[in-house]
């Protein structure tokens, strides 16, 4: 089934959207397409922030001369995390069920 990607996505985002929707047959589930759209939008935003950082650098100096992280650093990181969570929500791993809808435990905490 041919899927049309949302117009606001970049060319790269549109390719990812179409390929994922077709490979995983998401076309009959509107909520899944919406999650996919949001994930691709988040990846586009991360890429936009990465381009800004490539030009402006990851640090700037505030009015007191103290080095600070560029705001785009947080935008990039937040967008990557958002995309990862949305892709996980889509369960694109072939339907593997690990017995819980919670993300896996990282470790190091209390049992």
Query: pLDDT of 16-59, one tens digit each?
Result: 999 999 888 776 678 999 999 999 999 999 999 999 999 999 99
Is the per-residue pLDDT at 104 higher than 90?
no
**What does 6-66 look like in DSSP terms, one character per residue?**
PTTS-HHHHHHHHHHHHHTT-TT-HHHHHHHHHHHHHHHHHHHHHHHHHHH-SEEE-TTS-
Residue 51 CA to its chain's centroid (Å): 16
pLDDT at 93: 61
In a domain, 29, yes or no: yes
In a domain, 16, yes or no: yes
Global pTM exceeds 0.75: yes
**Overall number of domains in the chain:** 1
- % of the chain residues with pLDDT over 90: 68
In a domain, 57, yes or no: yes
pLDDT at 2: 78
Integer Cα distance of 107 and 3 in angstroms: 40
In a domain, 95, yes or no: no
In a domain, 62, yes or no: yes
Host domain of residue 76: 11-89
Q: How far apart are the first and last CA of the chain?
A: 46
């Amino acid at each position: 089934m041919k899927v049309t990607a949302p117009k606001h996505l970049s060319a790269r985002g549109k390719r990812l959207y179409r390929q994922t929707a077709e490979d995983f047959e998401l076309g009959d589930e509107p909520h899944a397409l919406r999650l996919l759209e949001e994930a691709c939008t988040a990846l586009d935003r991360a890429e936009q922030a990465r381009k800004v950082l490539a030009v402006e650098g990851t640090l700037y100096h505030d009015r007191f001369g103290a080095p600070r992280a560029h705001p785009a650093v947080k935008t990039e990181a937040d967008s990557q995390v958002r995309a990862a969570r949305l892709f996980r929500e889509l369960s694109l791993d072939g339907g593997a069920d690990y017995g819980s809808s919670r993300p896996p435990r990282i470790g190091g905490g209390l049992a």
